[in-house]
Amino acid sequence: MHGLKSNKNFIVTNAIENILSVAKKNEDSIDYLLKKDYGKTPNYLNKIKDNINQEYKMIQTLHQQNSDEKYILPYSGNVSVRTRFGKSGKG
């Protein structure tokens, strides 16, 4: 076993050098506040929003058609509260 040997702890030395060093400046940084589309909703999100609105309108139409046919949906707001005595309200 020949060669150079060192008692230097390279991990600790590297950590100390990085902690004490000055942060590098990135000269290619972009100021996103100055971009022409800053603050605007991206097109793909507008498309998703439109799809959600179309589905919502379709659901409203189906609910309207079902209510016109006197079809009662379960749990459509007609909930009665029963007490331990089997009556609504105070027992």
Instruction: Please indicate, yes or no, if residue 68 is contained in any of the structural domains.
Output: yes
Which pLDDT value is given to residue 90?
47
Instruction: Please indicate, yes or no, if residue 61 is contained in any of the structural domains.
Output: yes
pTM, rounded to two decimals: 0.41
Print the SS3 string covering 44-84: HHHHHHHHHHHHHHHHHHHHHHHHHCCCCCCCCCCCCCCCC
Total domains in the chain come to 1
Distance, in Å, from the CA atom of 91 to the CA atom of 85, rounded to the nearest integer, reads: 6
Cα dihedral: 26, 27, 29, 33 (round 10)? 130
Instruction: Please indicate, yes or no, if residue 85 is contained in any of the structural domains.
Output: no
Domain that holds residue 45: 41-75
Instruction: Please indicate, yes or no, if residue 17 is contained in any of the structural domains.
Output: no
Look at residues 89, 71, 72 and name the one whose alpha carbon lies nearest to residue 80. 89
Q: Provide the residue-wise pLDDT of the chain in tens; the chain has 91 residues.
A: 677 888 889 999 999 999 999 888 777 778 888 889 999 999 999 999 999 999 999 999 998 888 776 555 555 554 454 555 554 444 4
Instruction: Please indicate, yes or no, if residue 67 is contained in any of the structural domains.
Output: yes
Instruction: Please indicate, yes or no, if residue 23 is contained in any of the structural domains.
Output: no
Instruction: Please indicate, yes or no, if residue 54 is contained in any of the structural domains.
Output: yes
Instruction: Please indicate, yes or no, if residue 18 is contained in any of the structural domains.
Output: no
